[in-house]
Amino acid sequence: MKVIFILPRETKLDPETKCLLYIGRNTNGRGYPCVRIGSKTLLLHRVIFEKVFGKIPEQVHHICRNKKCLNAAHYQNTTDQEHKQLHLRTHCTNGHELTFDNVYLHENGVGGVARVCRTCKRDYERKVRRKYR
């Protein structure tokens, strides 16, 4: 199967990772490269995936973990659940392991649920209590 697809001019190859990096300014709010086709703005990695592999059942995962990579060899087709597992954080920003015992679920106000580190929350609450004694 021969696939013809013209990549944007704003790309450069990273010789170390073999990522084909988009260096243009046309990205969405999360940093993913976008392209306008007709009146729609589409994510460029999804357009490339469809051109190379066909229809996307659910999610496209960047194996290289670089959201600006346009190399189709670095894409993996995943289900929504698999994709969430791949991006699930294992440690909080302070380095505490996010295990079942050290996490509680907090509604974030927009219908979603956030995982919160119990150790960090406990430390924060102690600090606040000390401040107002």
Helix (H) or strand (E) segment spanning residue 62: strand 59-62
123 or 98, greater pLDDT: 123
Averaged pLDDT score across all residues of the chain = 83
Q: Reduce the DSSP state of residue 114 to 3 states and report it.
A: strand
Confidence class for position 123, pLDDT limits 50, 70, 90: very high
Work out whether the CA dihedral 2, 45, 59, 40 comes out positive or negative. negative
| Percent of the chain at pLDDT exceeding 90 | 10
pLDDT > 50? residue 35: yes
123 or 30, greater pLDDT: 123
Phi, psi of 65 (to 5 degrees): 65, 25
Contact 20, 70 (CB under 8 A): yes
pLDDT > 90? residue 47: no
Q: Reduce the DSSP state of residue 50 to 3 states and report it.
A: helix
| C-alpha span between 95 and 93 (Å, rounded) | 6
- The structure's pTM equals 0.60
